[in-house]
């Protein structure tokens, strides 16, 4: 049987994710929906997210 508590240890609380999305949107000058999608697809590593956001901005 799968333990749901064990699964939740590897994810950030929604509040932390929302804060990270807001920070990424401001720092990288991205719309919040685009920042949220980056976090959803690529995880919550701030350096990686900032790098991806910069590449998106460079492409635009």
Look up the pTM and report it: 0.70
The pLDDT of residue 11? 66
Summarize pLDDT for 2-35 with one digit per residue, the tens.
444 444 445 678 888 899 999 999 999 999 999 9
Rounded Cα–Cα distance for residues 36 and 46 (Å): 13
Q: Bigger pLDDT: 3 or 45?
A: 45
The pLDDT of residue 59? 84
- Compute the Cα dihedral for 38, 45, 27, 52 and give only its sign: negative
């Amino acid at each position: 049987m799968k333990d749901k508590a064990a699964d939740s240890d590897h994810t950030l609380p929604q509040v932390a994710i929302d804060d990270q999305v807001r920070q990424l949107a401001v720092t990288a000058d991205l719309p919040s929906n685009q920042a949220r999608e980056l976090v959803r697809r690529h995880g919550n590593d701030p350096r990686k997210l900032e790098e991806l956001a910069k590449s998106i901005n460079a492409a635009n």
